[in-house]
Structure 1
Amino acid sequence: MSEPERCGPAGTLPEGARPQGDLPEGALRPPSLLALPSYLASHVARIGHESLVEAVGRSGLRLPHFATLTALADFGPLPQHVMADRLGFQRSHLGGYLDTVEERGLVRRTRDPADRRRQVVELTDEGAAEQRRLSAVAEASQDAFMACLDADERTTLTRLLRRVLDADDRTDG
């Protein structure tokens, strides 16, 4: 897969290409769509997601595996159902993700002493080390993806996106 141009001119055609219809010279996407934040966010998210998936994938893991390790690094041991809810995963899918990282010795599942029907998941020492390594890989992929923004712009973008996400989380209860 060729590396897409990062932070190039938004919505422009490659040099020599001709626009269709009444679009402004050099327009790749309809200007009316480029005025919609959700349209822009979805396309930028796709680019960043592909970069992150590729970076994490080099370790032989998938993004959901990295997410489970990171949730445990951030929150500590969690009941399996709580982890699924916090990550927005279907509970049945989380079991498969955990099987993979457990087979690699990165997590351990034990019965919750307070409720034997539940499993508590925790990082092993190897899992904590792998999570730190993957976090550095993820940060590097995001640095490359956002290379056209300076540190203040990245901070502002992240803060604004968090506000939207936090508002949605409050709405979902």
Structure 2
Amino acid sequence: MSTLIDVLVAAAVVALIVARQTSPQRITGGGRRWLVLPAVLVVLALRQPGLVDAHHQALSGLLLGTELVVGLLMGAGWAATSRIWAEPDGSLWSRGTRATAAVWAAGIAVRLGLAGLGALYGVHQGTGALLLALAASVLVRRGMLVVRSGALRPSYGDGAPAVSWKDRV
């Protein structure tokens, strides 16, 4: 039953992320509210036993590590392909692009390939690796957006936001 719940949570998180990327989202640098979703995902991933298959520890650990690296790269690609802009009032916003959708599609394809490889070798994989990778993606994306948006903040209080070369339209 917990695997079903984890799959539903992962599907809900992905749906939430996709929905949020299709609409502009305000970037805020402060607060810790953005840590809630990754923290919940990590807790859900670590609460169940069997994150690493006891019968195939080395291969299972390698697949888990690869899944985490894919999650980190997906988060970085997600942030790098998101458009960031400053409104006249100084607020910063981001929105996913078609390239962001391509990053997601590639990441999902790689994850499916990893799951298939694990199944081919008889490695039992739960949903924990997926949840950890999603948490890593969200954290990396958020951190990179905050760093990227720093270039758009007004300097010296002149009210005119500096625009990064990558974010010009």
Q: Does TM-score exceed 0.5, indicating one fold?
A: no
Question: Higher helix proportion, which one?
Answer: 2
* Greater Rg by CA: 1
TM-score by length of 1: 0.31
Structure ranking higher on relative contact order (CA contacts 8 Å, 6+ apart):
2
